[in-house]
Amino acid sequence: MIFFSFLKHFKPPRSLGFTPFGAAVVLLTVGVGLAAMNTGNNLVYMVFGMMLGLITASGILSEINLRHLEIDWIFPMEVYAKKTFTIRMLVRNQKEKIPSFGINTALEISLNQKKNEWVETNFLMVSAKSQKNSDIQILPEKRGELEIKALKIETQFPFSFFKKYFIRPIDKKLIVYPQLIQIPHLSLKMPYAESQTADHQKGFGDSFWGIKEFSEGDNPKNILWKSSAKFSKLMVRETEKEREKEIFVTLLPEEEWLQLKIEELEAAISFTASFLDNIFKQGIAVGLISNDFIQKPSTDRKNLIQIFTFLALFSPKKGGSRQRAFKENWGEPPLEILSLWKKQ
């Protein structure tokens, strides 16, 4: 055990593979060695030495090339189907004086647990004590889960005899949101686009609600100095709570979605996402409900992203009693997006 742990210090954590050119060179070297032994020609021995020297130099230089490299990457915040996105790879060369050449970084990706694929980008030269970045462009074909499984750093420098590389696992999953498409302007009737109830409440907002006496915790900014002078005590302004315009979309009943063909399902989901995105951009709060998911209407982008995440992984199921529960809680029926898509 001690022996193996001792040996570990001398074994670099890298893998080595031949390129076709390198394999030919190694075979040729063996051939030249045999020819030298056969002929006894000393100049052929020199050529044999040259080839061995080149192979060794290749090993040493590629080892130096890969040492003290730091790799970092930046994933995009949002990824949509059929829209190219960029992963930025950063290579930092921590060596004191020696640059690194011909660095190839690759990511192993798999969309919806299907075939693994390597996507790569190259760095011609990363100078000593500096960093360089290069982008990998990926076009996801479908919505779903894009798994980034591993990172590979490879170099064929200096002579393309060998591929020296190491692979590090990355457990990263990107959600590919449904494709956003152009949809025609929709004139939606209230109550879908407006507040359904007319109840006014005091709270945060700009509209005036009333005046009250200052108490601890009130914002000093709201002190009305004229009224305070009038009442001889600190008076503060109260505001009416802002109510948002909102739209609530439902995927229920999901049985109807089940009847759609795959292409239709994808198109409907894409329409839903695009519709919600459009509405959201108009400043209207959006929400979504389905059997497994509920997102109350909100103008917060985080909520929209949560809806997109749900839509990215959405696959309709039978059953569910959400619709009734919804009616009990909120009263008004939400917008059935599937009917709207069918009309469109």
Partner 1 sequence: MEETVKLQNITLKSVWGLASLSLISLLLTKELGLLEIFLIFIFLPFGFYFELKGKLFKKRWLENSLILFLFVLTLFLFLGTKRSFLIVIADFLIGFILLKCTFKKDRKDIMQIIALSFFILLSASTLALDFSYFLCFIFYVLSAAWTLTFFSLTEKNLKTIVFDQKEQAKTPEIKTLYKFIAKNCWLTLGLVFIFSIAIFIFFPRMSLAVFQGAFLGPVQTAGISDKMHLVQSGKIFEDPAIVMRVEIQPQDRNRLNSFFIRGQTLSSFDGIEWKAEGKKGKSNVQDAYMSRVLKIQKIIKNDFKILDWDRDALKKEFGLNLNERSFLTQKIYLESLNNYLIFGLPWIDFLSAKLPEVTILEDHAILRPPNFGGRLFYEARSLIERPKETLLSKKTVESGIKWEDQEIIEKNLKLPKINLEKIKDLAQEIVSEKEPPYIKAKKIERYLSKNYTYALNIKTKNFSNPTEEFLFKTKAGHCEYFASAMALMLRLENIPTRIATGFILNEWNPSGNYYTVRFKDAHSWVEVYIGGLWIEFDPSPRNYVPDLAKTSLLGKIKEKMDYWNFLWNAYILGYDMESQKKLAKTVEFKSNQLSSKLDRTFGNWRSKYLKAEKLKFMSRKRGGLSSPELFTRNFLWFLAFVLFIGVGVGLGTIVLYKKMKFYLYKYKIKKTLPNIAFYLTMLKILKRFGFNKRESETPYEFLYKLQKNISPALLNNELDSSLVFLTELFYKARFSTLITNKEETSNIKKSLELLRHQLKKLKIL
Interior/surface letters 241-259, b for 16+ CB within 10 angstroms, e for the rest: eebebbbbbbbbbbeebee
48 counts as binding partner 1 under rule CB under 8 A: yes
99 counts as binding partner 1 under rule CB under 8 A: yes
Binding mask 105-124 for partner 1 (x = CB under 8 A): ---------------x-x-x
Nearer to partner 1, 120 or 332 (CB): 120
Residue that is written with structure tokens 């022996």 in the block = 3
Nearest distance from C-beta of residue 207 to partner 1, angstroms: 29
Nearest distance from C-beta of residue 79 to partner 1, angstroms: 15
Nearest distance from C-beta of residue 173 to partner 1, angstroms: 10
Give the footprint of partner 1 on residues 17-36 (CB under 8 A): 21, 24, 28, 32-33, 36
CB 133 within 8 A of CB 123: no
Nearest distance from C-beta of residue 39 to partner 1, angstroms: 6
DSSP 201-261: -BSSSSSEEEEEE--TTS-GGGB-HHHHHHHTS-EEEEEBPP---EEEEE---HHHHHTS-
Rg, Å, the chain Cα set:
32
Tell me which stretch binds partner 1 (CB under 8 A): 47-55, 175-183, 215-223, 319-327.
47-55
73 counts as binding partner 1 under rule CB under 8 A: yes
Closest to 122 measured CA to CA, from 162, 91, 164? 91
Cα gap 45→36, rounded to integer Å? 5
User: Which residues does residue 314 pair with via DSSP β-bridges, in sequence order?
Assistant: none
CB 87 within 8 A of CB 185: no
Q: Which amino acid is at 244?
A: E
Give the footprint of partner 1 on residues 152-191 (CB under 8 A): 156-160, 168-172
Nearer to partner 1, 167 or 193 (CB): 167
Q: Which residues bind partner 1 (CB under 8 A)?
A: 6, 9, 21, 24, 28, 32-33, 36-50, 52-54, 56-57, 60-61, 72-73, 98-99, 101-102, 104, 120, 122, 124-125, 127, 151, 156-160, 168-172
